[in-house]
Amino acid sequence: LQAAAQGRADDAAGRIEVARSLVTDSDDQVARVLVELFGVRVAARLGTSPSGQTPEQVEVSLAALGIDPVGWLCIADLAMGAVRT
């Protein structure tokens, strides 16, 4: 998230890929969906296409787990220096 905040697109994308690789084989569904959520937010911040799930897929995954994304979106945006209104 910090790399995205600083506009370092390649670094940010690489860090998301590392995070994704760490949780891909995990049974932790929450960790997997949060990595995808952060990947979507990083891509949006950088104006690129997400390399993993689409925003719609992330929303479906969060809903399936009973997670309201508002707080997580706020955390991601604040970490990247974006102001949510």
- Helices and strands of the chain, counted as H and E runs: 5, 0
| Domain assignment present for 64 | yes
| Domain assignment present for 58 | yes
Per-residue model confidence (pLDDT) at position 10: 86
| Domain assignment present for 11 | yes
More confident residue, 19 or 84: 19
Please give, one letter per residue, the 3-state secondary structure of 52-71: CCCHHHHHHHHHHCCCCCHH
| Domain assignment present for 84 | no
| Domain assignment present for 85 | no
The domain in which residue 70 lies consists of 2-79
| Domain assignment present for 34 | yes
Query: Mind listing the pLDDT tens digit for each residue in 1-48?
Result: 888 888 888 898 899 999 999 999 999 999 999 999 999 988 888 888
Cα–Cα dist 58/43, whole Å: 13
Query: Mind listing the pLDDT tens digit for each residue in 60-73?
Result: 999 999 999 888 88
| Domain assignment present for 73 | yes
Per-residue model confidence (pLDDT) at position 30: 96
Report how many domains make up the chain.
Answer: 1
Per-residue model confidence (pLDDT) at position 82: 64
| Domain assignment present for 62 | yes
pTM for the model: 0.82
